[in-house]
Structure 1
Amino acid sequence: MPQTSKRISGFGESVIRKMTRISNQYGAINLSQGFPDFDPPNEIIEAGARAMRNGPHQYAVTWGDPEFRRALAEKQSRFMGLDIDPDRNVVVTCGSTEAMMAAMLTVCNPGDEVIVFSPFYENYGADTILSGAKPIFVPLVPPDFTFDEAVLEAAFARKPKALILCNPSNPSGKVFTEGELLTIARLAERHDVFVITDEVYEHIVFEPHRHRYFASLPGMFERTVSCSSLSKTYSITGWRLGYAIAPAAVVDGLKKVHDFLTVGAAAPLQAAAVEGLRFPSDYYTGLAAAYSRKRALFLSSLDKAGLAYYPPQGAYYVLVDISPFIDGTGEDDISFSEWLIRRVGVAAVPGSSFFREPVRNYIRFHFAKKEETLAAAGERLLHLRELWHADHHA
């Protein structure tokens, strides 16, 4: 038979989704793939039930139902401090995954280079390959996961077409400081580079850190494609409602790419989600407070289990350093993660799937779970050290 395309050989299956499958196989507590085990707000569920009964059931406007776009533009204008036009500046997509892919295909030509900070969410590597672009990886250095300005300047000197910025960051939980964002902005302006942001964790930020939308920086709206979704903010990861916000000239291109990728996001779910987009401001402060409690609970469990980690500043992930377990054993993060599922009953993601560098000593947990689920995972992790010793030092 004919050979499949060369581009698909450049990346493998999602490691995150693979770990979920293994977790399900062994009945482990799944702290790998980042989705909640609790329901969305009841108001959204009720609105969804009404939409399923009453419609709409046919195609929405390709780039988003008008009422959904209006509600989204009003909400994001309030939080971003920008005047966002629902018709000229918004494209509704099937999750932020499609928004990022559509953004890459809109701004990049085959052969263009794109700056990607490492560690990075695994989709970004695949996005560059599928769009025909070439990544330039710039490391974020622990413990603060900041960048070396000279290294970043050297990357910009290669005249890339775009930079991908995940803020708050998956997997490290980093929230970029205003100074770091202004450095990126200065270099993007000097070298005439687009910035594609992934800001799905925009409302999950922990004190004293603050999230600043890159597009809100002086002069940056005209070169920024702001991608996000409703998945994490309203706990509806399965609804696949995302969006891109950009200047009108870029949105015109995004609309075309999006149309031929997916035609449009689900019409009844857009109608239902308007309810969430119109929540008052205290919903978002309550969301951050709830995740702050989950963070504190899970980090205390890691402390009790004697695990070293980098406290997340935002999002709902934590990188754990497993060096004390694997050093000198011939094991790595992949074998450790699979052992963790089988023997301890808790699923994590091998950290090497997020790093360009040859890093094998991290795993990533998430804490977007009920507090009782996190407590149960913590109880299991208390036995990690003794089980590892029994299996590897018998």
Structure 2
Amino acid sequence: MALPDMYRPLFDDAQVRPGLLRRRSPLRWGAHPPGVIPLTAAEPDFPGPPVVTDAVMSAVADGYFPYASPTESGELREVFSDVTETRYGIGNHPDRVVPAPGTAAALWGVVRLLCGKGDECIVLDPVDLLFGQAVDAAGARPVHCPVDKSTGCLDPDRLASLITPRTALICLCNPHNPLGTVFPAAVLRAVAETAGAHRIPILSDEVWNEIVYPPAAHVSPASLDTENGPRVYTVTGLSKTFALPGLRMGFVITPTRREADALRLTFQRLGATYSMSPFTQAGALAALRHGWPWKDAFLEHLQKVRDYCVDRLNAIPGMTCSRPEGTYVLFPDVSATGMNSRAMADFLLSRARVAVVPGTPEWFGPAAEGNVRISYATSLGVMEEALDRIARAVEERVTGGPAPLQATGTR
């Protein structure tokens, strides 16, 4: 379906305002001095849907800032439940939906509910650092299941071989951060069958489920009919879909109402339920009801930027980059340059004035070495300039001579 023209200008170069972002984005632009292009935190450089801004402003217009009730979120749970069934095929009831102050808090809450000291949790490798942090905080031990970095393939048999009597949880990330893989239904079904047969619950982080590029299609394990019927805790949120990371709005879809009640109690003990302000909930409702045309335009923009970036990175000596099926991060292999992940990140910051995330164990696990992560949720002009800088710096180092720059803008 054609997108209204009103949405396309929301993602042009003029919408990225470095001066404002340095004040408002402390984990990305604000973390570096002027002149550095930050491609680090997976947060967009664009304002979120205008309908969300309007809803939040309306909610604070009277100047009254009350506490939020940890239990009175019925309308939000009902709306999210409808979206989940319609868009993701997960048949559920609002009583199975547990709102959380962000997907990070949701992951921590589920792990804390299901795992304890001495337990083992299977986590993908590489994968986002939040899984390891949550497992460590619960006193459990992460068991790494490799994902092929060049193809993004996950071997269900390899995962099954890691199960022991101490395995308490299988953690999935789909779409996968940082590889951008969207796991096919056959792989997810095999993992789900294994989990069900061993009576091991699955934690499925699906916060990127709307950032998927055709022809890839996201499938949630909770939507699959499987013989063994595993218990699946599905985590998602609004941060990636609608460029709203600071709104801190996440959701967990639990297997049953009883398990939802247990998770709510866990959140209460962690003090997390009181972090969802009435203004957060007003913004979330506006996004879930009216934000989808904005999301469609955002995805159209991201696909164009993705294709440009992948082609440019693969033209740089010593770098190879797969084309992600989902997310808005890239994970190029830089090992052929002769630099490891940390050295490359330091080199790009000092020589190219571009900040990236190194593929070190503390960020993405042991298997991430040799790669760096690049977020491209910005304008095409910003990425053109960033990749011109990267190409020039790397080519000079690898070839020993200067490389010509393409025409760039100034930022």
Structure 1 segment 346-357 matched on structure 2, within 5 A: 346-353=354-361, 354-357=363-366
The equivalent residue for 1:7 is none
**Could you tell me whether the CA contact under 8 Å between 1:91 and 1:254 is conserved in 2?**
yes
Cα–Cα, structure 1 residues 205 and 56, in superposed 2: closer, same or farther, change >3 Å? farther
Deviation of residue 348 (structure 1)?
1.0
Return the letter of the residue paired with 2:70: T
TM-score (norm 2): 0.84
Return the match for 2:181 from 174, 177, 187: 174
Q: Which amino acid aligns with 2:240?
A: K
CA distance in 1, matches of 2:81, 2:263: 17
Match of 1:289 among 291, 295, 300: 300
Aligned to 1:241: 249
Q: How does 1:33-182 map to 2 (within 5 A)?
A: 33-54=41-62, 57-63=65-71, 65-86=73-94, 88-182=95-189
TM-score normalised to structure 1 length: 0.87
**TM-fit CA distance, 1:23:** 5.4
Matched, 1:344 2:352: yes
SS in 2 for 1:70: helix
Q: In 2 relative to 1, CA 105–55 (structure 1 residues): closer, same or farther, beyond 3 Å?
A: farther
Q: CA deviation at 1:147?
A: 2.7
User: In structure 1, what is the equivalent of residue 371 of structure 2?
Assistant: 362
In structure 2, do the counterparts of structure 1 residues 378 and 249 end up closer, same or farther at CA, with 3 Å as the change threshold? same
Q: Percent identity?
A: 25
**1:1-37: per-residue Cα shift (whole Å, max 9, x none)?**
xxxxxxxxxxxxxxxx998589514641111111111
Unaligned stretches of 5+ in structure 2? 1-24, 403-411
Describe the shift of the 1:152–1:303 C-alpha distance in structure 2 as closer, same or farther (beyond 3 A): closer
Whether 1:274 aligns to 2:274 is no
Report if aligned partners of 1:204, 1:287 keep a CA contact under 8 Å in 2. no
159-168 vs 148-157, which deviates more?
148-157
Question: Structure 2 matches for 1:211-222, cutoff 5 A?
Answer: 211-219=218-226
Relative to 1, partners in 2 of residues 1:166 and 1:218: Cα closer, same or farther, differing over 3 Å? same
Structure 1 residues 22 and 46, CA, compared in 2 at 3 Å: closer, same or farther?
A: closer
Distance of aligned partners of 1:149 and 1:93 in 2 relative to their CA distance in 1, 3 Å threshold: closer
Bigger mean CA deviation after superposition, 227-236 or 293-302:
293-302
Q: Secondary structure at the match of 2:172?
A: strand
Residue 222 of structure 1: how far off its partner (Å): 6.1
Paired with 1:370 and 1:152, the residues of 2 have a C-alpha distance of 38
| Structure-2 residue corresponding to 1:300 | 311
TM-aligned CA distance change 1:305 to 1:34, over 3 Å? same
Say whether the 8 Å CA contact 1:105–1:257 is kept in structure 2. yes
RMSD over equivalenced CA pairs, Å: 2.6
Task: Tell me by how many angstroms 1:85 deviates.
Answer: 2.0
SS in 2 for 1:141: coil
Where relative contact order (Cα < 8 A, 6+ residues apart) is larger, the structure is 1
Q: Which residue of 2 aligns with 1:378?
A: 387
Contact 1:63 1:258 in 2 (8 A): no
> Who is 2:236 aligned against?
228
CA distance in structure 2 between the partners assigned to 1:18 and 1:357 by the alignment: 27
Aligned match of 1:320:
332
Shift of 1:256: 0.8
Aligned to 2:207: 200
| Alpha-carbon distance between aligned partners in 2 of 1:65 and 1:148, rounded to the nearest angstrom | 39
Aligned residues of 1:26 and 1:341 also touching (Cα < 8 A) = no
Deviation at 1:288, TM superposition (A): 2.8
With 284-293 and 66-75 compared, the bigger mean Cα shift is at 284-293
